[in-house]
Amino acid sequence: MTPIDPVALTADLVRCPSITPAEGGALVLLEAVLTKAGFTCTRVDRGGIANLFARWGRQGANRTFGFNGHTDVVPLGDENAWTMPPFGAEIKDGYLYGRGATDMKSGVAAFAAAAVDFVTETPPDGAVILAITGDEEADALDGTTALLDWMKANNEAMSVCLVGEPTSPNEMGEAMKIGRRGSMTAFFTVTGVQGHSAYPHRAKNPMPAMARLMDVLSSHELDQGTDHFDPSSLQVLTIDTGNPATNVTPAQTRATVNIRFNDQHSGASLTAWMQEEADKVAADFGVRVEMRVKISGESFVTPPGDLSDLIASAVEAETGRKPELSTSGGTSDARFVKDHCPVVEFGLVGKTMHQVDERVAVEHVHQLKAIYTHILREYFA
């Protein structure tokens, strides 16, 4: 079988207009490629989201290496600002342009190409699984979680997993991620009594209460960091009152905060702390404070060990760089995989992801396939 060109496969995937939650033909294309190579493929669609599970080898094998990634992409933004067609996959000056070129159709193409070539050339004593979702860039409710739920129900399992998200800030091979911070957002509503600003004793202005609460939350030191994480941070995102009048104190005001937290905290512990502070402010100012919380993911870390050593060794062998063990950045689907098996992330340079004229260095896509192939060879050696 002719080796798969990961750049050509990336281009084919970029030409699929899979703006989340649209499948756009990307998973149909991958299923055809993988089926031809002997993978058993199953569509695991849920909630209108397309997902693909593919396994080469025996179900229940003692050693199963898994890859996870996504083919959905973020919207284009101002399409007129693009200098290259966003779904054209055109190559210029050594870069392949298009939405998803970096995040992360090139990563999916690289691990699919590596997996196909590996099992074709040197069939391993074990199994290789590819779990590919179409719902990473949106709410992620029916993407990787649907795949993992289906795997559990059907006795499918990965021994370890590599998520192919972009991980390097500037140079190929700079960093791999062994964990991620948790992320949560809290929405506050403070309700008082509207009144004339000249007669404050007849009203209960919610604004001072909200200002106090936001100050208390944002000035509090959550921690000083841990062995693997920077200090947690709480950011006030908005305070909205919408009061155009100059002589009326409002009845209600709203605010939103976002917390990125390390493994000293959980979503539940931070929720309890914010609720306690909100209750204090409500009592001090005689207003009502309501809070709604959305937890996008808990903090986690895969302790350095066999999996991270394997990946770091392969990266150094192919790039000459020993990757930093990082936990920076936002959330990824690794936050779901970590409940299934040990998980590490490694992928391309992410400088242009989500930007206009998103692009990937052609050289890096070939290099990434070589790294993934190296990892598979060493894992099954």
Q: Are 213 and 283 in contact (CB under 8 A)?
A: no
136 catalytic, yes or no?
Answer: yes
pLDDT at 71: 98
pTM, to two decimals? 0.90
333 catalytic, yes or no?
Answer: no
Is pLDDT of 93 > 90? yes
Window from 8-22, 99-113, 245-259, 323-337 with minimum mean pLDDT: 323-337
Is pLDDT of 1 > 80? no
- β-bridge partners, 187: 256, 292
Catalytic residue, chosen from 12, 23, 31, 72, is 72
- β-bridge partners, 133: 51, 70
Q: Are 7 and 366 in contact (CB under 8 A)?
A: yes
Q: Over the stretch 153-201, which tens digit does the pLDDT of each residue have?
A: 999 999 999 999 999 999 999 999 999 999 999 999 999 999 999 999 9
- Residue 58 binned pLDDT confidence (cut-offs 50, 70, 90): very high
What average pLDDT does the segment 287-303 reach?
Answer: 96
Catalytic residue, chosen from 135, 136, 263, 345, is 136
CA–CA distances in Å: residue 378 to residues 202, 342, 375: 75, 17, 5
Does the CA dihedral 47-24-160-152 come out positive or negative?
positive
Two tokens, residue 257: 């905060």
- Residue 5 binned pLDDT confidence (cut-offs 50, 70, 90): very high
Q: What percent of the chain has pLDDT over 70?
A: 100
Q: Over the stretch 303-319, which tens digit does the pLDDT of each residue have?
A: 999 999 999 999 999 99
Q: Over the stretch 337-349, which tens digit does the pLDDT of each residue have?
A: 999 999 999 999 9
Q: What percent of the chain has pLDDT over 90?
A: 97
Whole-angstrom Cα distance, residue 167 to residue 73? 17
Name all domains of the chain by residue range, CATH numbers in brackets.
6-180+299-379 (3.40.630.10), 182-297 (3.30.70.360)
